[in-house]
Amino acid sequence: NAGVTQTPKFQVLKTGQSMTLQCAQDMNHNSMYWYRQDPGMGLRLIYYSASEGTTDKGEVPNGYNVSRLNKREFSLRLESAAPSQTSVYFCASSLTGKGRSGNTIYFGEGSWLTVV
């Protein structure tokens, strides 16, 4: 039981390049999320998916796209990377609305992205 797994852990991009961050969870959770955390700041929600086949914008969606490929996987794509997207990206998941232990959000270990 690996929980939430993100790849890659580290990536350096040049401005204008594109890339996809991959995320998978093995907890049979229905909801998945992508956050970014800038130095000294709290986490900000980029996109979320409440169920397979649905996605919604969070606080800071500009410059990103997402795909909920199936129940397990939720990817984040940067179409044309910019230096302002240099950050640590966290994928997370939760079992929304399923009993009193539900809705706890579990996080991956993070992906460090630098755009030069």
Partner 1 sequence: DAKTTQPTSMDCAEGRAANLPCNHSTISGNEYVYWYRQIHSQGPQYIIHGLKNNETNEMASLIITEDRKSSTLILPHATLRDTAVYYCIVRFLSSNTGKLIFGQGTTLQVKP
Quick one: tokens of 68? 């909920």
Report how far residue 66's alpha carbon sits from residue 69's, in angstroms, rounded to the nearest whole number.
9
Whichever of 17 and 52 has its CB closer to partner 1, that residue is 52
Write down the least CB distance from residue 114 to partner 1, Å.
Answer: 14
Query: What is the per-residue binding string for partner 1 in 88-107, x denoting contact by CB under 8 A?
Result: x-x-x-x-xx--x-xxxxxx
- Cα–Cα dist 70/109, whole Å: 21
Counting residues that bind partner 1 (by CB under 8 A) gives 29
Q: How far is CA 54 from the centre of its chain?
A: 14
Q: Does 87 bind partner 1 (CB under 8 A)?
A: no
Q: Give the x-and-dash track for 2-41 against partner 1 (CB under 8 A).
A: --x--------------------------x-x-x-x----
Does residue 74 touch partner 1 according to CB under 8 A? no
- Cβ-count burial of 36 within 10 angstroms (0-12 exposed, 13-18 middle, 19+ buried)? buried
